[in-house]
Structure 1
Amino acid sequence: MTQREPGNERGHEPGHAVLVVPVPELEPFVRGRWEHYDPAMVSTDPAFTHAHVTALAPYLTEPTPADLALLAEIAAGTEPFDYLLDDVAAFPDGIVHLRPEPAAPFAALTARLWEAFPQCPPYAGRFPHSVPHLTLDLVCAEVSIDSTRALLGDTVPVRCRADRLELHWYETGNCHVRHRWPLGGGGTEPLPVRQGMQVS
Structure 2
Amino acid sequence: MDRLVHAALEDVLGRHQAFDLRFERCGRLPDVLYLAPEPAAPLLRLTEAIADCWPEAPPYGGRFAEIVPHLTIAQGQADAVLEEIEADLGGRLPLTSRVSSVDLMVHDGTEWRVRASFALADSAPRPRQRP
For the residue of structure 1 that corresponds to 2:80, the secondary structure is coil
2-side partners of 1:85 and 1:154: how far apart?
12
The residue identity in structure 2 corresponding to 1:87 is R
- The answer to whether the aligner puts 1:165 opposite 2:102 as a matched pair is yes
Counterpart of 1:52 in structure 2 is none
- The answer to whether the aligner puts 1:148 opposite 2:109 as a matched pair is no
Counterpart of 1:100 in structure 2 is 37
2-side partners of 1:141 and 1:128: how far apart?
25
Structural RMSD (CA):
1.9
1-side partners of 2:111 and 2:32: how far apart?
24
1-side partners of 2:66 and 2:112: how far apart?
27
Map 1:6-21 onto structure 2 (within 5 A). none
2-side partners of 1:141 and 1:78: how far apart?
37
Deviations 1:66-114 (A, max 9, x none): 11101001121010000101211112x2311111000000001000000
Counterpart of 2:115 in structure 1 is 178
Aligned residue pairs total: 121
Q: CA deviation at 1:179?
A: 1.2
Given candidates 68, 74, 90, the residue that maps to 2:6 is 68
- The answer to whether the aligner puts 1:82 opposite 2:20 as a matched pair is yes
User: % of aligned pairs identical?
Assistant: 29
The residue identity in structure 1 corresponding to 2:23 is L
2-side partners of 1:121 and 1:132: how far apart?
14
TM-score by length of 2: 0.81
Gaps of 5+ in 1: 1-62, 186-200
Counterpart of 1:123 in structure 2 is 60
The residue identity in structure 1 corresponding to 2:10 is A
1-side partners of 2:71 and 2:86: how far apart?
14
The residue identity in structure 2 corresponding to 1:83 is L
The residue identity in structure 1 corresponding to 2:119 is P
2-side partners of 1:64 and 1:137: how far apart?
31
As a proportion of its length, which structure holds more strand?
Answer: 2
Gaps of 5+ in 2: 123-131
Higher mean C-alpha displacement, 76-85 vs 63-72: 63-72
Based on CA coordinates, which of the two structures has the bigger radius of gyration?
A: 2
2-side partners of 1:142 and 1:89: how far apart?
15
Higher mean C-alpha displacement, 149-158 vs 104-113: 149-158
